[in-house]
Amino acid sequence: MKLYGYWRSSAAYRVRIALNLKQLEAELISVHLVKGGGQQHAADYAKLNPQELVPTLVTDDASGDEFVLTQSMAIIDYLDERYPQSSLLPDNLELKAQVRAMAYTIACDVHPLNNLKVLQYLANTLNVADDPKSQWYHHWIHQGFTAIERQLQQHAGQYCFGEVVTLADVVLVPQIYNAKRFNVDLSSYPLIEQVWQHCNQLEAFKQALPENQADAVIS
Within 10 angstroms of residue 107's Cβ, the number of other Cβ atoms is 23
For residue 81, what are the contacts with CB-CB under 8 A and spacing of at least 6? none
Q: Is the pLDDT of residue 219 over 80?
A: no
Instruction: Please give the mean pLDDT across all residues of the chain.
Output: 96
Output the pLDDT for position 218. Answer: 62
pTM for this predicted structure: 0.95
What average pLDDT does this structure show over 22-28?
Answer: 97
Alpha carbon distance 49, 41 (integer Å): 9
**Tens digit of pLDDT for each residue in 118-129?**
999 999 999 999
Closest Cα partner for 49 from 60, 38, 57, 37?
57
| Residue 26 phi, psi (nearest 5) | -140, 140
What average pLDDT does this structure show over 49-63?
Answer: 95
Contact 218, 15 (CB under 8 A): no
The single-letter code of the amino acid at 211 is E
Output the pLDDT for position 36. Answer: 86
Q: Is the pLDDT of residue 43 over 60?
A: yes
Output the pLDDT for position 148. Answer: 97
Helix (H, G, I), strand (E, B) or coil at 28: strand
